Amino acid sequence: MSSETPVVVQMEDICKRFGAVQANNHITISVRQGTIHAIVGENGAGKTTLMNILYGVFPPDSGTVYLYAQPVRFRSPAEALQAGMGMVSQHYALIPRLSVLENLMLSGEGASFSRLPRSQVRARAEELAKVIGLQADWDAPAGSLSVSQQQKVEILKLLLRDARVLIFDEPTAVLPPADAEAFFALLHRFAEEGRTVLLVTHKLQEVLEHADEVTVLRAGEVVATMPVREKPGAPPQVDARTLARLIVGEEGVLPEEEMLPGRRLGDQPRLRVEGLIVPPVRSRAGLKGVSFEVYPGEVFGIAGVDGSGQAELIDALMGLTSPTQGHIWLDGEDITHAPPAARLHKGVRYIAEDRHLRGAIVEWSVAENAALGLQREGRFGSRFSLSFTRMKEFAERIIHRFAVRAPAADAPFAALSGGNQQKVVVGRALMETPALLIAGQPTRGLDAASTRAVHHAIREACGQGACALVVSFDLDELLTLCDRVGVLFDGRMVDVVEGERKRREEIGALMVGAVKGGGA
Ligand SMILES: Nc1ncnc2c1ncn2[C@@H]1O[C@H](COP(=O)(O)OP(=O)(O)OP(=O)(O)O)[C@@H](O)[C@H]1O
Ligand SMILES: [Mg+2]
């Protein structure tokens, strides 16, 4: 990009404070037309705050936003939309009871396509959906979609609007790699068309592969802003180490994460799943006879392309769905049809892939969320009078152990940055050694240090006798964290790899059904 390329978005000297937290501290950033501008920084660095200001979610305390060199002061996202901007937020805003199509129609409020007949919106949506690899059932309630499908619907909402400036806040945090690739191909196309993209991400590889420029935030301030490449398609001029160093400061850089060796702590499986069948519903594969065991001390990974049965497996293990055939044993006891509360009581803990729908109640405090689901255990007082002090103490322990950036344990959960919310959800599941940890995308939206901390916490729990089941789209995560990896394909566990066979290529091939089959 030459310096003549017009600046589309200019944010100048932006400050925003929440109570004692200076979320944005004199931030200045310029984004040129037709570029992909990445914004990186630790959890709580101020990325989402800055994007919210740009999109008119709330005003800055001071500073000015310019769009095409004109000062603008959006009083709401609706006004930003009118001005040709669009944003996919870190937390989704789909209305769960409405169908996918209805959600799309609704999102067009004020945009040109909202006046189009339903059939036309649908045709256009179908066309775009193909590009981003969304096989949507347009009439399914949005709440029935997996998190990655919801993410794609959110992206679709934005695409339908035909925006000139597109803001994405961690769009690929829960996208399977193949979908992320398709998404980036689309971003490049947009950039070529002269649209401007702001991309918040924790994945430095994405910055190196796709961004034209990058701005690094640390503790609310810009510590660097620089070109990533000379022109689109050219090789990157910066490397991951340099970025990592800028993100955390010189002292904070971590060495490469090592494979954490696990050890079976007994020869009786803690979790045994046998011949599990869950009928397919809509776009879900269901489970077609899944069997495996997880031993104490062991982390068992689940790989698979989106919709291969991961959600059904988690639901069945948590007691959120009833299998039509097969069995689940925990420590030798048949829990196939036990209600969720009984499983919690037996030490089953859950990190939900969708922290907002299932993992937390954002209107509540951090302390109440820390205690969520555990209140029946009696540790926070009786069912009828919960001790807020005890919940607060528990939350404070989580905050301390997982370095959660929260103003206080009684602060609203919604006041935490996305990654810090995730740390609370993870902490709740791991503060006491569970019998079985079920983790869906446990490091979603976490920065490098927090990802590391969560991996260690899972390992530590297993070292104390827990067993863990980790579902992740991130193969590197599965390879580093898990002792064995089961691969789901179309509702079947086609293979379980360990030792020498636990390699990226092997798992990748199994995921698309290229080898073996039948298996367990
Ligand atoms: N509504 C709010 N009320 C109080 N504090 C807030 C609010 N929104 C954000 N903050 C605080 O501002 C700081 C920056 O948060 P922000 O969400 O911008 O971080 P982020 O860089 O997007 O982090 P993440 O990578 O975890 O999403 C955090 O300390 C957060 O707790
Ligand atoms: Mg954020």
Q: 79-129 pLDDT, tens per residue? A: 998 999 999 987 767 888 888 888 888 776 555 555 677 788 888 888 888
- Distance in Å, CA 391 to ligand 1 centroid: 23
pLDDT, residue 109, reads 56
* Smallest-distance ligand from the CA of 52: 1
- Classified as helix, coil or strand, 110 is coil
User: In the numeric block, which tokens belong to residue 160?
Assistant: 């339908």
- Distance in Å, CA 428 to ligand 2 centroid: 21
Q: Where are the alpha helices (DSSP H) in 224-365?
A: 240-248, 310-318, 340-345
Whether 122 contacts 105, CB under 8 Å = no
| Residue in 151, 111, 116 with CA at minimum distance from that of residue 132 | 151
Biggest CA-to-CA distance, the chain? 70
> Token pair 């970025």 is at which residue?
243
User: In the numeric block, which tokens belong to residue 80?
Assistant: 């930003």
Give the residues across from 467 on adjacent strands: 436
- Distance in Å, CA 71 to ligand 1 centroid: 25
> Which residue has the least CA distance to atom 22 on ligand 1?
48
Q: Half-sphere exposure (CA, 13 Å, Cβ side) for 163?
A: 31
pLDDT, residue 517, reads 47
Burial 367-402 (b: 16+ CB within 10 A, else e): bbbbbbbbeeeeebeeeeebebeebbebbbebbeeb
Q: How far is C-alpha 415 from the geometric centre of its chain's CA atoms?
A: 18
- Classified as helix, coil or strand, 213 is strand
Q: 259-298 pLDDT, tens per residue? A: 666 778 889 999 999 999 999 887 778 999 999 999 999 9
Q: Where are the alpha helices (DSSP H) in 278-435?
A: 310-318, 340-345, 366-371, 388-401, 418-430
Ligand 1 atom closest to the CA of 407, numbered from 1: 31
Q: 370-400 pLDDT, tens per residue? A: 888 777 666 777 766 777 888 899 999 999 9
Ligand 1 atom closest to the CA of 411, numbered from 1: 4
- Distance in Å, CA 310 to ligand 1 centroid: 31
Q: For the chain, give every domain's residue range.
A: 7-84+163-252, 95-162, 354-418
**Cβ-proximal residues to 86 (8 Å cutoff; 6+ apart), any chain:** 158, 161, 163, 165, 166, 167
What phi and psi values does residue 86 have, to the nearest 5 degrees?
-150, 150
User: In the numeric block, which tokens belong to residue 66?
Assistant: 């310019």
Whether 241 contacts 250, CB under 8 Å = no
For 186: left if phi > 0, alpha if psi spans -120 to 50, otherwise beta; the answer is: alpha
What CATH number has the domain spanning 7-84+163-252? 3.40.50.300
> Residue 177: enclosing H or E segment and its boundaries?
helix 177-192
pLDDT, residue 520, reads 42
Q: 220-244 pLDDT, tens per residue? A: 999 999 999 998 889 999 999 999 9
Whether 11 contacts 72, CB under 8 Å = no
Q: Which residues have CB less than 5 Å away from ligand 2 (the ion)?
A: 48, 90, 417-418
Q: What is the DSSP string of 462-473?
A: HHTT-EEEEE-S
> Which residue has the least CA distance to atom 17 on ligand 1?
417
